[in-house]
Amino acid sequence: MTNLDLFADATISTLYFEEQARSRGAQAVAGIDEAGRGPLAGPVVAAAVILPAGFSLPGLTDSKQLSEKKRDAFYPQIHEQAVAVGIGVATAAEIDRLNILQATLRAMQRAVARLTPSPDHLLIDGITPLPLATSQQTLKKGDSRSLSVAAASVVAKVVRDRIMCSLDRQQPGYGFAKHKGYGTAEHRRAIAELGPSRHHRLTFAGVKEHLER
């Protein structure tokens, strides 16, 4: 088998779940993923992406396996080629009120609600279905198994990173633009020195210990 054949097989495999859904009559299959479940600050962002049949974007995969430069390059290409892209956000305050899982599901629902046309089948990264009547399938490591989910993972990551850069300008001193809210040593030192900001998740370990500040 040639390298070209191997690439073709890989492309087919990452469209398998979309094609399977279409074979059962689905017209608009949306891949859904999120970015930002683990950080100490900032929102969780979800994206839902409906790709056209036969979609191809060589190199597209789970956003965690891509450099920032590659994600930024794929982002406009996904928007140009996708049938629809929806974004949903749940704030740090919502995360504190609901817990991170429920806030993530809410962000995903918001992303789905912003799709036009509305999807008739969902491919969701992870193991937790959405509380929606829409036909759906959860996929462990879906962002590396489905192109629709991979596209959603890139969109969600790019959007969240841009939000964190904006928050850095609003609230300098914490380094949000650098670490994007994750619990790096630098970020933890800033929280200890400055106290939590309004963008921090006050129920998360690493933040709640400093609430008296």
Cα separation, 100 vs 207, in Å, equals 15
Q: Which amino acid is at 157?
A: K
pLDDT for 90 equals 98
Helix (H, G, I), strand (E, B) or coil at 83: coil
pLDDT for 109 equals 98
CB-based contacts of 140, cutoff 8 Å, min separation 6: 126, 127
pLDDT for 54 equals 87
* pTM for the whole structure: 0.92
Cβ-contact 160, 35 below 8 angstroms: yes
Q: Which residues of 27-61 are buried (b: 16+ CB within 10 A; e: fewer)?
A: ebbbbbbbbbeebbbbbbbbbbbbbeeebebeebb
pLDDT for 10 equals 40
Per residue of the chain (213 residues), give pLDDT as tens.
333 333 333 443 489 999 999 999 999 999 999 999 999 999 999 999 999 998 999 999 999 999 999 999 999 999 999 999 999 999 999 999 999 999 999 999 999 999 999 999 999 999 999 999 999 999 999 999 999 999 999 999 999 999 999 999 999 999 999 999 999 999 999 999 999 999 999 999 999 999 975
Q: Which CATH class is domain 3-163?
A: alpha beta
